[in-house]
């Protein structure tokens, strides 16, 4: 039996919008003609869905969120671009996701099972993975790439074109202008690495021996006296059969868009920062 779709009388659903089964649209929502809401999506109230936007199954969107607005990018010429959001995302009050740029990637993608807290922002042409958490007021610049299971704390900002590797953690108010390796933990204005996201690794159930190997590889990768590229080769040679460590080595290889977020050096820096 088909599940009933419920639309509040004050909501505006433009002709051409596609609504799945069991969709619930609350008061004063506006859904554009190009939008597609999959089964069991809920727009609680005062939500705006613009342009060619797709929301995956069972997404829940809170008041004042605006999804699919044109990009904040002078290069955009007003042509077709899209926003695609995966299933079971929770999108809280005032969140904004912008569509892609028609002269560039042309689409913004957000994976499934994400939690986007109040007033967080995903900019044009970004690619956000699955199980990502963005806390209040966290923001991404255009073309950012965010891996699976990343946590971005409140007020943290990610520069355009920056990549954040999977299972990384960005601290509150972090200003991230360089790529962060998978499993890395970055904090501070012009953020620096403070080791690995050990709390996240332990919560994920990663075996202790794997965590210990990752810590050793981390120290080798960022050891002084050689370039990051040279250290990456040393890490690859030391752990040829480790898929986890190979993933980090692959991440730092062949990057030409941005530099990397590195550990702090000198006074105040500690090789044991990753015990936090």
- Which are the catalytic amino acids? 124-125, 142
Q: DSSP letters of the chain? A: -PPPPEE-TT-EE-TT-EE-TT-EE-TT-EE-TT-EE-TT-EE-SS-EE-SEEEE-TT-EE-TT-EEEEPPS-TT--S---EEEE-TT-EE-TT-EEE---TTTT-EEEE-SS-EE-TT-EE-TT-EE-SS-EE-TT-EE-TT-EE-TT-EE-TT-EE-TT-EE-TT-EE-TT-EE-SBB-TTEEEETTTTEEEEE-HHHHHHTT--HHHHHHHHHHHHHHT-TTS-HHHHHHHHHHH-TT-HHHHHHHHHHSS--SS-B--B--STT--TTGGG-
């Amino acid at each position: 039996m088909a599940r009933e779709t419920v639309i509040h009388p004050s909501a505006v659903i433009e002709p051409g919008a596609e609504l799945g089964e069991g969709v619930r649209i609350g008061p004063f929502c506006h859904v554009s003609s190009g939008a597609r809401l999959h089964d069991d999506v809920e727009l609680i109230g005062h939500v705006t869905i613009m342009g060619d936007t797709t929301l995956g199954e069972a997404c829940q969107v809170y008041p004042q969120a605006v999804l699919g607005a044109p990009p904040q990018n002078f290069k955009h010429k007003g042509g077709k671009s899209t926003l695609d959001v995966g299933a079971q995302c929770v999108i809280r009050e005032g969140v904004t996701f912008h569509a892609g740029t028609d002269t560039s990637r042309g689409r913004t993608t957000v994976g499934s099972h994400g939690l986007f807290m109040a007033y967080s922002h995903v900019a044009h042409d970004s690619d956000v993975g699955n199980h990502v958490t963005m806390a209040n007021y966290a923001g991404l610049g255009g073309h950012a790439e965010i891996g699976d299971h990343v946590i971005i704390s409140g007020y943290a900002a990610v520069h355009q074109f920056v990549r954040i590797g999977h299972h990384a953690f960005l601290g509150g108010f972090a200003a991230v202008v360089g790529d962060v390796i998978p499993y890395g933990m970055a904090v501070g204005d012009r953020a620096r690495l403070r080791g690995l996201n050990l709390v996240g690794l332990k919560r994920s159930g990663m075996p202790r021996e794997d965590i210990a190997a990752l810590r050793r590889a981390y120290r080798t990768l960022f050891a002084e006296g050689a370039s990051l590229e040279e250290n990456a080769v040393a890490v690859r040679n030391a752990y040829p059969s480790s898929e986890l460590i190979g993933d980090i080595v692959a991440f730092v290889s062949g990057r030409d868009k941005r530099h990397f977020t590195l550990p702090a050096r000198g006074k105040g820096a500690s090789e044991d920062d990753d015990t936090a």
